[in-house]
């Protein structure tokens, strides 16, 4: 990271790290044309796919460490319809979660008592 610091500052974004990784899951039961979610899935479907991976990671870490990890979601709701927003809200309801969003109407999806609203 130190090696790329000047370049990252210039472009305003980090050039290496887990956010740059692509995931590829191999399963012989899935036809090859369906394996790349980015090739056939909408942006919303891709977000839900990644959320599924994150929830699996949380489950794994909880089993191994006996602690509940914090779930960080960056603008997860932006490309989901209201039905899928409610599904995500239900899925994350049992996890301590930090969500970033530019949409203040998301309060309609997540119960207000579970929100800490920071505006600025």
3-state SS record for 81-101: CHHHHHHHHHHHCCCCEEEEC
Domain boundaries, the chain: 5-114
State percent of the chain over pLDDT 70.
83
DSSP string over 32-55: GGGS-HHHHS-HHHHHHHHHHHHH
Q: How much is the mean pLDDT over the chain? A: 81
Q: Could you read off the pLDDT of 46-93 as tens digits, one per residue?
A: 888 889 888 999 999 999 999 989 988 888 888 888 888 888 888 888
- Residue located via tokens 């790290």: 17
Angle at 59 between CA 56 and CA 65, to 5 degrees: 135
pTM summary value: 0.66
Residues 63, 16: Cα–Cα separation, whole Å = 29
């Amino acid at each position: 990271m130190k090696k790329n610091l000047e370049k990252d500052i210039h472009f305003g974004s980090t050039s290496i790290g887990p956010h740059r990784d692509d995931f590829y899951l191999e399963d012989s039961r899935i036809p090859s044309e369906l394996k790349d979610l980015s090739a056939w899935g909408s942006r919303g479907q891709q977000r839900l796919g990644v959320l599924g991976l994150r929830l699996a990671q949380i489950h794994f870490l909880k089993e191994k460490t006996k602690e509940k990890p914090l779930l960080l979601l960056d603008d997860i709701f932006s490309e989901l319809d209201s039905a899928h927003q409610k599904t995500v809200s239900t899925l994350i309801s049992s996890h301590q979660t930090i969500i970033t969003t530019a949409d203040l109407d998301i309060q309609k999806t997540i119960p207000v008592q579970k929100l800490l609203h920071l505006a600025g």
